[in-house]
Amino acid sequence: MDSIMTKLRNLDAYPKINEDFYSRTLSGGLITIASSILMLLLFISELRTPPSTLTSFLFIFCFISHFCLSGMNLCSGLYLHAATETKLVVDTSRGETLRINVMSFDLLLKVQFDVTFPALPCSILSLDAMDISGEQHLDVKHDIVKKRLDSHGNVIETRQDGIGSPKIEKPLQRHGGRLEHNETYCGSCYGAEATDEDCCNSCEDVREAYRKKGWAISNPDVIDQCKREGFLQRIKDEEGEGCNVYGFLEVNKVAGNFHFAPGKSFQQSGVHVHDLLAFQKDSFNISHHINRLAFGDYFPGVVNPLDGVHWTQQAPSGMYQYFIKVVPTVYTDVNGHTIQSNQFSVTEHFRTGDVGRLLSLPGVFFFYDLSPIKVTFTEEHISFLHFLTNVCAIVGGVFTVSGILDSFVYHGQKAIKKKMELGKFS
């Protein structure tokens, strides 16, 4: 039994030294206090706060010390907070459609926007969306709200998109006579009727019928509905006003664009054009402020680079273009809840009103394309063993490096003192 105990004592890697042989110094005491404070701070940093300068400083200590258990892991995560793991994978859902909500992500891509035009009235501002598959949404009105703004940015009126309801005061019938008491009103579409039964009972109906035909209205005053509703007068009354438009679009998950521009849009000989003749203006100020633009739902850490962007037009007219690369993103929290969303990067370009011989359409255009790479963020808690390993690395690394520093100071002082005694120190 004694031999076994003797063998176990021989395996002791921590031999004890009699206290009579200890030599305690002032520098050693200062180093001990400093290293203890450093270990406490780094322990708290590892326990509660994100990686910081302190944990980076610790990594240097651990790298120097060969006793460090896991120096590379010290800056990798937290214990009381979840760590986020990032992965890049190929997006195999390209070519499908995408709806940004948890229940049906693979339907449509939802674009949320809030844009202010300080010098463009709501009555002339329209929104179009189209993509490379050929699908078009012209003069979008659903899920969109417009706010009329005065020159100081104060809200005058909030309304769903549209120019207002007609004032019926003996309007002109399609057959040419005036509306009588016992008749049902059916206004003329001025040659733009698709069938003989079609009626255009408001200026907006006539403009829509002309848009579908690919025609432009050169003089609204010759249109009875527009004249009765005071279309031109309303535009003049809103001169100098601005417009805040917000809402959302649902578009296919393919490359495309959506844009804000004055006038109704239509296709003419396969070209997308806007009817600007009705407004009788030579230039349009498309200065704008993007309050918010997102291609999906919010998730922790998301940054939308166009939020808060402001641009002021200096040229008489032109087209402002944003080229956006959309990156599909999946965020999973520690409880397993998944948020399907998107991030994006953007570049900008302005085309003046006259580029070569082609006139560019005045407006703000957002051209988007989807990246083939999907980003996944997964929140995970740090295991207790991982945390324990990091704590041991903190204690061992700081203790070892502080021991090296103490030994250097002690032997340096001793060497200097010896030279002073021999009279060789100068």
pLDDT, position 384: 76
Reported pTM: 0.64
Q: According to the model, what pLDDT value does residue 280 have?
A: 62
Angle (CA) 250 254 257, round 5°: 65
| Across 95-109, 288-302, 344-358, least confident range | 95-109
What is the reported pLDDT for 23?
74
Domain boundaries, the chain: 56-82+383-421
Is the four-CA dihedral 78, 81, 86, 92 of positive or negative sign? positive
Most confident of 41-45, 133-137, 345-349: 345-349
- Average pLDDT of the segment spanning 265-271: 70
Q: Is 218's pLDDT higher than 50?
A: yes
- Whether 167 shows a pLDDT value over 60: the answer reads no
Per-residue pLDDT at 118: 94
- 311 is written with which tokens? 């641009």
